[in-house]
Structure 1
Amino acid sequence: MRIKKTTVLLNQLLAGTMLAALAVGSSFTVAKAAADLIAVNGDVRTVDPNTPRAEAFAVENGKFVAVGSSAEIRALADGKTTVLDLAGKTVTPGFIDGHTHLTSGTDYVTGVDLSYIPDKETWLKRIKEADERLPPGVWITGGGWDYTLKEGKLPTKEDIDAVVKDRPVVLRDIDFHSIWVNSKALEIAGVTAKSEVPAGGEIVLDAKTGEPTGILLEGAGDLVTNKQPAYSDKERAEALLQTVKFANSVGLTGVHDMSSIAAVYDYLKLVEDKSLSLRVWYGFFEDNAANIPAAAEDREAVDSRVAASGETKVKGPLLTVGYAKSVVDGVLSTHTAYMLENYSDRTGWKGEPFQSEADLSALIKAANESGFPTAVHAIGDAGVQMTLNAFEKAQSHAKYPNRVEHIEIINPSDIERFKTLGIVASMQPNHATGTIGKYITERVGHERESHA
């Protein structure tokens, strides 16, 4: 019997065993053979409401076979069983993140990660380090910067130019709605003050010079990102695998990931390579109802190849093209969220929707009729209201409900509509902690703040 003590949350289980999420039930069950691994003397949380806590569990062939007291579980061991002494540590079921962009965030792993770093000085230090680390000619990408943490104002291209001049730098902000670039990136993309941008997008201009500052809001960022060199299939797969492993390391065993329909095939490669250790409910970005039939074909192709891989027989459900994702507005921090009344700190500006209510309704109708629920990003109260209007007009009965993402501020009259229409209010803690107490009062004033 091999005995080990652990001071971590069973990281080795997160990549496979924890996928079962302690769903075998928490009552003691006799295994048919000696367990490969048992964990004892722990604070084990289960998903069984009748026995929500236990002391130990057993794993055999990569699956949980028993959960119970330490004495009961020890009886399942033999001389070949690995024993983990948890020493009172807590073990939870694997976490499921209901709103992620992992395939869009691989640059954070391979490039620059500025998440939750408050000061620009450290941002620039990290960018300079990436410049020294990466091969010549490679674009510096990544991001996660948040100017509301400390700086109080948006960074500029000159900030990056001071540390990196000769290669493009393209860094998304913490919420993926703004891009900070250097002069080289603007030059390569041919972006000027007169460049056309899609609805809701903006090239932020310097008030004195009238030239781009290096901040591109919403769809304006596509002017630069569309010029980025494409990664090879191998590079994308390797980057995604690193990202998945990081997700596992913090306890994630399931995600609702949202990106392009093309990116789902990167996950599929991991399935076929037998290296995917997340359950992925995949949402594809789409604003055009005419493209839904093609997405349904992708769903069938992915389902067929996942089944052929044989992985689901071992690990259970792994990858499904589950829903459509659309976006109607931006974010409050940069005044791109769509509001019913003017911003308190920008006279005459409410923001504007990224698409019409009619187009959104058409998308919802087509998606629902093809078996795809629809998730819609809506942060401003006008964006939320418009989305609910579209669902009311166009949604049809589906196995899974439609949902509105984020909802940072809402008109009180729309709250009850979520229940009436059967719409899920898909809200994330970061959209509260990242807003309340920072810039929300500036943007909407004290009266509307109670609706945030």
Structure 2
Amino acid sequence: MNACVVISASLVLLLSLLLSLHIRNDHNEWRWRNRLWWLPSTFSSTSGIAADLLVTNGTIYTSDSSLLFADSMAIRDGRIIRIGNYSFVQEVSGYGTKELNLEGAVVVPGFIDSHVHLLFGGLQMARVEVRGVNTKDDFIGKVKEAVRNMKEGSWLLGGGWNNDLWGGELPSASWIDDITAHHPVWLSRMDGHMGLANSLALRIAGVNSSMQDPVGGTISRNADGEPTGLMIDSAMKVILSCIPEVSVEERRQALERASRYALMRGVTTIVDFGRYFPGAPLKHSWEDFTDVYKWADLSGRMMIRVCLFFPMPTWSHLLDVVQTTGRRLSQWIFLGGVKAFADGSLGSNSALFHEPYADEPWNVGLQVTDTESLSNMTVQSDKFGLQVAIHAIGDKANDLVLDMYKSVVSTNGKRDRRFRIEHAQHLTHGSVAKFSEQGIIASVQPDHLLDDADSAVKKIGLERAQKGSYLFQSLLASNTPVAFGSDWPVADINPLHSIKTAIKRIPPGWDKAWNSGECMKLTDALNAHTISAACACFLDDDIGSLSVGKMGDFVILTAHTWDDFITQGTSSVAATYVGGLQAYP
């Protein structure tokens, strides 16, 4: 027994000495702290070991309703051990403690982006970028420039185009066939629910006039019945299945590239829905989990925290992993749940509505997954405790999912399950009440309204667009949990811009808000990107607010007073800290 006491005391002394060392190399310090993240926060406060970092003399917005503002906080082993006024926090200062004087700057919790396709975004950063192109000639010019130095036969990949920016005309293979005769091309639309293939890519995939539309998808055709090159929703898999696999090394580089970009924008945690779009191979998410995320975690290369969602058809595989490892693999990787699709997107005229599109009176959109399959998979996933998130954009799709969720609860019984609807862009009059009554999480992306404002009026009419689109404040007022995200790379990953959008709701070229009654307050929008986002993925015990026991993830803003932040409705990121360590710049 005495030997055990001696060993325990020696271990505590050894840890005390090691943890007080100043390791000059940032990367080595980062990796060392990663190995010690498991030390409980109570170890610091009860053992007398000094804090690693004091953050002082700032305006700290905590997102914690029990203490909304503080001027100082102390961090030890990556977690917050004290927060409040300087004299209280300074008590845990000691040998080896660093102090960061904010000089009045505003600090907020590390942002959580509730909906990202992280590796896909990282890959897109190294491909042909046609985002923001606003003329047909510029679109063609981008493609022409990209193929100039490419090896013959190699695929030209990229995306981000938005036909609404050049008047609405959809691109076709004929636009680019002459300049890509020796290169198969696939360029996805910004929303990921439609893509353009050139004629060579169509031939490789065997797409011709006699090919039938797949279930949940459409092959666009001209008046003669010939494919135009546009593939919508599930039809995209015909092309995607022919594109060479991305190498492991490329995907690992994409993770690093995307993580650094997220940190630059103040994002310390993302909810990753993988390279999973309608028609995408289900295996991609699992390959990325094994080859990229687990590899990065084990080798000390993770820079941001990720909560991973997997394709719902693979729910049993996820269940096996969760039962073996639990939901928390490390301080960096959490297993979230499963995702499915109910419909397509507004921009591709494939979002599912009760009434037809104004510009296509014969079309009400697409139901991407049939009701029976969607319901059965949801029942099984939920039965075994997996969180479920379903993509729904059109009002009929949202009603379909809301009604299905209610049925699943009656089948499996009540519990804390936190069902999510991803996007929830267009709702009927009674849908908001359904969200509230059932406690369904609305995982929404404010910056999408900037892209949709003009096209929504054309596609569904002014009255429907005004009454039922992007009802953030109505959802919040009904006590619906609202979590903000970007859907990057569909929209940019930029929480501060997203917050400004939710507050102002002024699309490009407009001089007033789109439905001003739906404008949110700054603190509500901040919470939607922090504590509410954490609750939406069962991570509110670890992140989401600057509270004792939680991770020391925080963002220093350029705003020097809270009043400036409120008045301007925006700011920019000066620095990002993860676990008390500076990660950006």
TM range, smaller chain: 0.7 to 0.9
Q: Deviation per CA, 1:88-128: give whole Å up to 9, x if none.
A: 44332111111112133332122133344544555455545
Residue identity opposite 1:421 in structure 2 = Q
Which deviates more, 126-135 or 212-221?
126-135
Q: Is the Cα contact below 8 Å between 1:302 and 1:320 reproduced in 2? A: no
- 2:447 is matched with 430
Q: What secondary structure, in the 3-state scheme, does the structure 2 residue paired with 1:434 have?
A: helix
Taking the aligned partners of 1:368 and 1:416, their CA distance within structure 2 comes to 23
**Contact 1:256 1:283 survives alignment (8 Å):** yes
SS of the residue aligned with 2:432? helix
CA distance, structure 1, for counterparts of residue 147 and residue 321 of structure 2: 38
Q: Is the 8 A contact 1:244 1:277 kept in 2?
A: yes
Answer whether contact 1:203 1:215 (CA < 8 A) is retained: yes
Distance 1:169 1:420 in 2: 47
CA contact (8 A) 2:387 2:417 kept: yes
Asked if structure 2 preserves the Cα contact closer than 8 Å seen for 1:160 and 1:181, the reply is: no
2:253 alignment partner AA: E
1:443 paired to 2:459: yes
Residue 224 of structure 1 deviates from its aligned partner by: 0.9
For residues 361 and 92 of structure 2, the distance between their equivalents in structure 1, rounded to whole angstroms, comes to 70
Q: Note if contact 1:169-1:184 (Cα within 8 Å) is conserved in structure 2.
A: yes
Q: Which residue of 2 aligns with 1:420?
A: 437
The structural deviation recorded for 1:135 is 6.2
Which residue matches 1:274? 300
Q: Are the structure 2 counterparts of residues 159 and 63 from structure 1 closer, same or farther at C-alpha, using a change threshold of 3 Å?
A: farther
2:201 to 161, 185, 192: 185
Q: How does 1:126-137 map to 2 (within 5 A)?
A: 126-128=142-144, 130-131=146-147
User: Once the 2 structures are TM-superposed, how far is the Cα of residue 293 of structure 1 from its aligned partner?
Assistant: 2.3
> Structure 2 residue aligned with 1:229, among 222, 244, 247?
244
What secondary structure, in the 3-state scheme, does the structure 1 residue paired with 2:334 have? Answer: strand
Is 1:264–2:281 an aligned residue pair? no
Q: Tell me, yes or no, if structure 1 residue 91 matches structure 2 residue 113.
A: no
- Classify 1:127/1:66 alpha carbon distance in 2 versus 1 (closer, same or farther; 3 Å): farther
Which residue of structure 2 aligns with residue 53 of structure 1?
A: 69
Tell me, what secondary structure is at the counterpart of 1:49?
coil
How far did residue 166 of structure 1 move?
Answer: 2.5
Displacement after TM superposition at 1:181 (Å): 2.5
Aligned 8 A contact 1:200 1:351 in 2: no
Give runs of aligned pairs for residues 26-425 of structure 1, distance below 5 A.
32=48, 36-67=52-83, 84=100, 86-128=102-144, 130-131=146-147, 138-161=154-177, 163-207=179-223, 210-259=225-274, 260=282, 261-262=285-286, 263-265=288-290, 266-286=292-312, 288=313, 291-301=314-324, 303=326, 307=329, 312=330, 316=331, 318-395=332-409, 396=412, 397-425=414-442
Mapped contact 1:31–1:76 kept (Cα < 8 A)? no
CA distance in 2 between counterparts of 1:362 and 1:387 reads 13
**What letter is aligned with 1:357?**
T
* Whole-angstrom CA distance in 2 between matches of 1:197 and 1:106: 31
Query: Is contact 1:299–1:320 with CA below 8 Å preserved after alignment?
Result: no
Structure 1 residue 156: deviation in Å? 2.3
Moved more, 169-178 or 255-264: 255-264
For 1:267, give the aligned amino acid: Y
Shift of 1:327: 0.7
Distance (Å, rounded) in 2 between the aligned partners of 1:56 and 1:273: 33
Per-residue deviation, 1:367:
0.7
> Which consecutive residues of structure 1, in runs of 5 or more, have no partner in the other structure?
1-11
Any idea what the Cα deviations from partners look like across 1:189-229, whole Å, max 9, x if unmatched? 2222332332231122233x543222211111111111111
How far 1:372 moved relative to its partner?
1.1
Q: Partners in 2 of 1:78 and 1:163 — Cα distance?
A: 67
Whole-Å Cα distance in 2 between the matches of residues 131 and 273 of structure 1?
36
Deviations 1:290-349 (A, max 9, x none): x53233113345549x75xxxx3xxx3x32332221111111222211121222221222
One-letter amino acid of the counterpart of residue 108, structure 2? T
Q: State the Cα distance separating 1:70 from its structure 2 match.
A: 6.5
Over 3 Å counting, the alpha-carbon distance change for 1:132 and 1:249 in structure 2 is farther
- C-alpha contact 1:371 1:398 (8 A) present in aligned 2: no
Q: How many residues align?
A: 416
State TM-score, norm by structure 2: 0.63
Contact map agreement 1:41 1:86 (CA 8 A) in 2: yes
Deviations 1:17-73 (A, max 9, x none): 9xx9xxx9xxxx999556555555544322333443344445555444554557877
Task: Letter of the 1:95 partner, please give it.
Answer: F
C-alpha distance in 2 between matches for 1:258 and 1:146: 22
Q: What's the CA shift for 1:424?
A: 2.1
Asked if the contact 1:368–1:398 (Cα under 8 Å) also holds between the matched residues in 2, the reply is no
Name the CA distance, whole Å, in 1 between partners of 2:227 and 2:301.
43
- Residues 120 and 151 of structure 1 are in contact (CA less than 8 Å); yes or no, is this contact kept in structure 2? no
Of stretches 295-304 and 127-136 in structure 1, the one that deviates more from structure 2 is 127-136
370-379 or 102-111, larger mean C-alpha shift: 102-111
Number of the residue aligned with 1:8: none
**AA at the equivalent of 2:389:** A
Query: Mean Cα displacement is larger for which, 379-388 or 113-122?
Result: 113-122
Structure number with greater CO (CA < 8 Å, separation at least 6) is 2
Aligned residue number for residue 9 of structure 1: none
Tell whether the 8 Å contact from 1:329 to 1:337 is kept in structure 2 after alignment. Answer: yes
Q: Percent identity?
A: 28
Q: 1:178 to 1:45 in 2, by over 3 A?
A: same
- Aligned CA distance change for structure 1 residues 31 and 54 (closer, same or farther; 3 Å): farther
The one-letter amino acid paired with 1:269 is W
Structure 1 residues 58 and 128: CA distance shift in structure 2, 3 A: farther
**Mapped partners of 1:388, 1:64: distance in 2:** 38
Distance (Å, rounded) in 1 between the aligned partners of 2:436 and 2:165: 35
After superposition, the C-alpha distances for 1:366-419 in whole angstroms (9 at most, x for unaligned) are 010111122111111221122122222223334331122222222213332223
Consecutive unaligned residues in structure 2, runs of 5 or more: 1-28, 275-281, 470-585
Q: Quickly say closer, same or farther: Cα 1:424–1:140, change in 2 above 3 A.
A: same
Q: Distance in 2 between matches of 1:112 and 1:350?
A: 32
**What's the CA shift for 1:233?**
2.5
Give the match for residue 6 of structure 1.
Answer: none
Contact preservation (8 Å) 1:173, 1:179: yes
Change (3 A) 1:128 1:348: closer
